[in-house]
Amino acid sequence: MRLLEVRRTSGFRVACLFFATFGTASLALSGFLYLDTRSYGRKAAFEWVGWESKHLLSLAPHALRDRIDASEDFAEGGRPLVLFGPDHARRVGAPIPFPETAPVGRPFVLTQPAEHGSRTLFSQLSRLQSGECVLVSRSAKDLEALEKALVETFVWGMAATIVIGLVGAVIFGAGSLRQNDAITKAVERIMRGDLSERLPTRG
């Protein structure tokens, strides 16, 4: 069997075509799942900061301060809260400076420097009647970890698909090549006068 000729067989080409079609469909599905999961995660995070902002604005001033002051203990845990004065100076809460360019009353993405690079926060800035501002944030760390896990899963899945597809194409091509060789040998025997020879129907 001439392995170098496997790629010329119809079986190998059909298997490669099937693999290419299946691989393209899998890649498109993986991309859709990644984007859909990412969009859902961001939407859920923004919904939470919006709900938490409304809840904090409904509290009395002393209750609001106590709530934000208590959150300072777990500010690094992923949901920091900050109370700013009318002069934009931090009064209480997580050590986050006032986001000067942030919109008021609408969610936005806030990037803050961290010990190792930077961290991303889904945030919303709300203004109180007193002129003070409340910043509600939620870390994007969990969502980023999920996105990374999805990408790694898709990469390994595509790698496995490529390997399986190539192995399958070689197997199909080798089968076609064996059948072609068997037919060629049978024809040669018939041409030499062996009329009892029959063309093989299977390789």
- 140-183 confidence digits (pLDDT tens): 888 888 888 888 888 888 888 778 777 777 776 666 666 666 66
Distance, CA of 133 to CA of 125 (rounded, Å):
7
* Interval 65-69 mean pLDDT: 85
- 7-62 confidence digits (pLDDT tens): 666 666 777 777 778 778 888 888 888 888 888 888 998 999 999 999 998 888 88
Distance, CA of 132 to CA of 95 (rounded, Å):
16
pLDDT-based confidence at 75, cuts 50/70/90?
Answer: very low
Distance, CA of 130 to CA of 122 (rounded, Å):
25
Instruction: Please report, for the chain, the start and end positions of each structural domain, with discontinuous segments joined by +.
Output: 3-32+147-191, 45-139
Residues forming a β-bridge with 119: 112
Nearest to 120 by CA among 134, 109, 105: 109
pTM of the model: 0.65
Instruction: Report how far apart, in Å, the C-alpha atoms of 64 and of each of 56, 108, 127, 156 are.
Output: 6, 22, 13, 48
- Count CA within 13 A, CB hemisphere, residue 194: 10
100 has a pLDDT exceeding 60: yes
Tokens of 97: 């400076």
**pLDDT mean across residues, the chain:** 79
Nearest to 202 by CA among 178, 173, 184: 178
Domain 45-139 annotated CATH 3.10.450: no
- What are φ and ψ of residue 108, in 5° steps? -155, 170
